[in-house]
Structure 1
């Protein structure tokens, strides 16, 4: 099978955010250079590859200093011929002019900035290191050096957040005339500061009703903008949809490199060891750093195809589903489709099944309908 996408994980951050449950570590006193050497070695376990998409995430890749960043970029350039989208995640305050010039020089053509909100009080609650002025500066530099695609992440349903605050952040983001917005409601994940505070009764979230109102506002605001919605949480100008994320939503294969990274190769889902020192030990001993492998059954693959594919506005294509699994979607999920259509949560055409606008509000309930316990 030809693998056309790869994810690289940089598990270091200048500060640990209160809501984040990704595999990340405070960068101070971490063996960053040793980690990069091992990451590069893991990438080199296979022969050089031609890819359609590359995504470097974290953690925060821009937490690396200039020398470390260039070392990583050179290694990626040697090992991969990236034909299409090449994304780096970034924090606005770390995205200096020098770093943007460097990323541009090595072919990075998409920046995904972790903005989350333009509201200063909410930025402090989230534990972010940037201020709103840093967002404007970073976007200006990215445009100065002709980065072809700029994406901002925004969050809603945050502690103390009002719908007016979210509305204002959306307006500010759109005023920057960027190319893509990802906007997610806060989910309390175990092993985060927010989760621990919530369990102790020290964190109050907006009501679920207000969270739904914020999502309705998001969809309405985007409909009147230059962006179109193409996935539950993602909006883009024409030609700027995230091609890498579509690989995940289409249930296609991809490499995963780095501590805690996940991949999907030849029907096997795998996850690398998470602790940096364990990862380094594996690579130093010339071992692949895989912690866990799972081989989804046919039923599990079809379930994944449904709940991942339904995230996209174009939904799940019935012809493609049959080509991959030799099952007719309408027959296989006849009862589920009937019940969801009665609720008005899905659209069923001869070509595809997709979420309705109301279905996006209750997306998780729709997805669960296709998971047979």
Structure 2
């Protein structure tokens, strides 16, 4: 019933042109033990071939852009691993093929130590205004144990260098639940990060992914993780330390000064459309979620042959869109806007999620404040268990 009633509304929703762009730079100096991202240790010649293909894909995507980009995000890998001439080419391609909003948020990920003065100046000249450093921990022992190539001094020097050059928006990524990590380690890392006066900190719970060295070591009972209870305590510790300082938790894993939230990531959490370019990149355009081929050679060859480098492209159904919007939106402290949800799906959540919705309210797992429904903060540590209840609850009839 709802699918038929909302067809015109959904057609309009899925025809909205993206105003965000993700660009994947898959190169690293080495691969971390926990990483399952599409990354490669590659020679300069392959970086050059990849850059040429990436510029061409950006040219194709730019023809579909009908509105100025509000956010751009270069992820990886390590985007600053590219030599300056290649980095300039990709940055220039974004400017050449896409209209940019005057206040565009343009983020580039970097490893501490990988962004020297020359590369930071290159980013600034192109219009990049936000840097995200993958610090992960301020423990030398733990940095070695997870396969990171930087040291603690690199973190501070990289942040201070970026600040001195004029970057006002800097994020630090931290991880907890690492092998043999203690609460004292977590406290030290958070306090060190706060001492650098960055405006945004992301704190992620380690997830052991298949295909990584950590996965193999865990299977062999050789990965001494802290355990779920200790990891939950670490999460609570991180939240308390950051919020008692100057950073407000606005998403399950993200903390920021007011006004310094990651606008690009908000696009994902609100399940809004976005362009994506690069090997292994995932995009969401006109109701279709697509994934590019992950192989660098296959990616370059497909582009050279004039073909979009898609490995798959799947149309998102009404039910999938509603469920995904609810699950991702509830990651936010503010939660889901009931008005926006109804405008988008021509139905209120009670209609789509029925007994699940009512049950979660009765158990106290959902709360309403004005137009917004959210998870109470005390249940964020078990949010995945709550999110699972929304899966496969909406029908297409």
TM-score class, shorter: over 0.9
1:59 aligns with 2:74: no
Q: Which SS does the other structure have where 1:144 is aligned? A: helix
Compute the displacement of 1:204 (Å): 1.6
What residue number does 2:152 align with?
Answer: 132
Q: How far apart in 2 are the matches of 1:27 and 1:294? A: 31
CA deviation digits over 1:6-53, x for unaligned, max 9? Answer: 000011100100001110111246611000000000011144542000
1:13 and 1:80 map into 2 onto residues whose CA distance is 27
| Number of equivalences | 373
Q: Determine the C-alpha separation between the residues in 2 that align with 1:344 and 1:170.
A: 31
Please list every run of 5 or more consecutive structure 1 residues that lacks an aligned counterpart in the other structure: none
TM-align CA RMSD: 1.3
CA 1:54/1:47 → structure 2, altered by over 3 Å: closer, same or farther?
closer
State the SS of the aligned residue for 2:85. Answer: helix
1:310 aligns with 2:330: yes
Alpha-carbon distance between aligned partners in 1 of 2:236 and 2:61, rounded to the nearest angstrom: 46
User: Structure 1 residue aligned with 2:212, among 180, 189, 192?
Assistant: 192
Contact preservation (8 Å) 2:283, 2:289: yes
Q: Secondary structure at the match of 2:189?
A: helix
After TM superposition, give the deviation of residue 270 of structure 1 in Å: 0.3
Which of 42, 54, 69 is equivalent to 2:87?
69
2:47 is matched with: 32
Aligned to 1:253: 273
Name which of structure 1's ranges 149-158 and 198-207 shifts more when overlaid on structure 2. Answer: 198-207
Contact 1:344 1:358 in 2 (8 A): no
The 1:30–1:367 alpha-carbon spacing in structure 2 relative to 1, beyond 3 Å, is: farther
Give SS of 1:45's match.
Answer: helix
What TM-score comes out, normalization by structure 1 length?
0.97
Q: Whole-Å Cα distance in 1 between the matches of residues 45 and 371 of structure 2?
A: 51
Q: Summarize deviations over 1:354-373 as a string: whole Å, max 9, x none.
A: 01112211010111011127
Q: Distance in 1 between matches of 2:44 and 2:161?
A: 30
Task: Give the 3-state SS of the residue equivalent to 1:368 in structure 2.
Answer: helix
Describe the shift of the 1:173–1:196 C-alpha distance in structure 2 as closer, same or farther (beyond 3 A).
same
**Per chain length, whose mean CA-contact separation is higher, i.e. which structure has more relative contact order (CA < 8 Å, sep 6+)?**
2
User: Counterparts of 1:18 and 1:343 in 2: how far apart (Å)?
Assistant: 40
What does residue 328 of structure 1 align with? 348
Partner residue in 1 for 2:381: 361
CA distance in 2, matches of 1:308, 1:150: 24
Whether 1:240 and 2:255 are equivalent positions in the alignment is: no
Aligned to 1:292: 312
Distance 1:346 1:160 in 2: 35
Instruction: Return the TM-score normalized by structure 2.
Output: 0.91
Are residue 2 (structure 1) and residue 17 (structure 2) matched? yes
Q: Give yes or no for contact 1:19–1:126 (8 Å, CA) kept in 2.
A: yes
- On the 8 A contact 2:278/2:292 being kept in 1, the answer is yes
2:73 equivalent to 1:45: no
Q: Give the counterpart of 1:141 among 161, 167, 170.
A: 161
- The answer to whether the Cα contact below 8 Å between 2:69 and 2:98 also exists between their aligned partners in 1 is yes
Does 2:242 align with 1:227? no
Regions of 4+ moved over 4 Å = none
Gap runs ≥5 in structure 2: 1-15
Q: Look up the SS of the partner of 1:12 in the other structure.
A: coil
Deviation by residue 1:42-94 (Cα, 9 ceiling, x = unmatched): 01114454200000001110111122212222222212233210000000110
Q: Distance in 2 between matches of 1:343 and 1:361?
A: 16
* Structure 1 counterpart of 2:31, from 7, 10, 16: 16
Whole-Å Cα distance in 1 between the matches of residues 70 and 186 of structure 2?
34
Partner of 2:298: 278
Corresponding position of 2:182 = 162
Task: Give the distance between the partners of 1:217 and 1:183, measured in 2 at CA.
Answer: 11
Residues 272-292 of structure 1: CA deviation (Å, up to 9, x unaligned): 000000001100100000110
- Asked whether the 8 Å contact 1:54–1:82 carries over to 2, the reply is no
